[in-house]
Amino acid sequence: MTPDAPSAPLAGRVAVVTGASRGMGRAIALRLARDGADCVVVYRRDHARAGVVVAEIERLGRRALALAIELGEPDEVPPGFARIAETFGRVDVFVANAAATAFRPTLEQKPHNVRRTLAISLESFVAAIQAVVPLMRGRPGRIVAVSGIDSQQAMRGHGVLGAAKAGLESLVRTLAMELGPLGITVNGVNPGLVETDSSQMYVERGLEREYAATVARVAAATPVRRAGSGEDVAGLVAYLASDAASFLTGQTIVIDGGLTIVSPLELLNAIPGPGAPDA
Ligand SMILES: NC(=O)c1ccc[n+]([C@@H]2O[C@H](COP(=O)([O-])OP(=O)(O)OC[C@H]3O[C@@H](n4cnc5c(N)ncnc54)[C@H](OP(=O)(O)O)[C@@H]3O)[C@@H](O)[C@H]2O)c1
């Protein structure tokens, strides 16, 4: 697709993606840019990697801005969006993707880690919505929140983050109701295992397992027989951001290759051990 092809579904739109310096957020920003959007790459501290993403977006013929916002400090959100307003004058798509936590058992969580996890995923999300909605007024707007399967399933080290993600999914429903009359849809995406820096850190430090072998075992138990990629999730976000999704709001869509629709009894077949059919 040429840079300004009129058929690009997001041509002329402005997208803001948090946590876009790497991982899923980077894939989402690049996909939205390929679909025609100018992009704001929000990151925390990895200026070099954010700069690389900006350069990749500019090579696609779009405008891009790297913007450092510490989402653990919600007071940084309004000035960040003021900068976006100065640069682009509007926002059409907002993707709340960034998250961080200490992958520790709940009993070992330090108060500052609990506060920080909730501040990034909930408090800064609300602050960002309050800042971004005035920049969407008068045009169809799209808000997409990246949740996680920890919102529904108990996962070691994910107690606080899972609670934050469950709260995020609740906000998706309420915001969809509140913002629908303004022409803004609000949806969530809920990925399964996606290969990124943070999934590797969780497997190695949180579960104390070897990463490649763990990904291979999860893939073997997944109906489509692979782990996810950032591009898988980006494709769904691009659809939710498009005009085609104007009647879809308030939903959080699980994208996990089918892993969570499989009964735990079926999963036993994917894990060798006593009682397995071929044991
Ligand atoms: N990976 C998975 O398997 C998986 C599964 C389900 C859900 N998720 C969710 O998907 C989202 C993206 O995950 P990922 O694996 O792509 O993450 P990642 O590779 O660890 O990337 C995290 C991104 O968030 C930014 N970030 C972290 N803390 C921040 C803060 N306090 N303020 C501002 N930005 C901050 C980082 O910026 P810097 O580079 O500057 O540090 C980076 O851009 C998260 O919401 C995660 O919970 C991931």
Going residue by residue through the chain, which has 279 residues, state the pLDDT in tens, using 9 for 90 and above: 445 555 799 999 999 999 999 999 999 999 999 999 999 999 999 999 999 999 999 999 999 999 999 999 999 999 999 999 999 999 999 999 999 999 999 999 999 999 999 999 999 999 999 999 999 977 899 999 999 999 999 999 999 999 999 999 999 999 999 999 999 999 999 999 999 999 999 999 989 999 999 999 999 999 999 999 999 999 999 999 999 999 999 999 999 999 999 998 988 877 666 655 554
Task: Of 238, 199, 235, give the one whose Cα is nearest residue 219.
Answer: 199
Domains and CATH numbers, the chain: 14-192+228-255 (3.40.50.720)
> Could you tell me the two tokens for 271?
């894990």
Q: Is the Cβ atom of 128 under 6 angstroms away from ligand 1?
A: no
The residue whose two tokens read 């399933």 is 153
Beta strands in the chain (DSSP E): 14-18, 38-43, 64-68, 93-96, 141-146, 184-191, 252-255
Q: Which residues are bridge partners to 96 per DSSP?
A: 145
How far apart are alpha carbons 148 and 61 in whole angstroms? 32
Query: pTM of this prediction?
Result: 0.96
Q: Which atom of ligand 1 is nearest to the CA of 165?
A: 47
Q: Is the CB of 204 under 6 A from ligand 1?
A: no
Q: Which atom of ligand 1 is nearest to the CA of 161?
A: 47
Closest ligand 1 atom to Cα of 46: 40
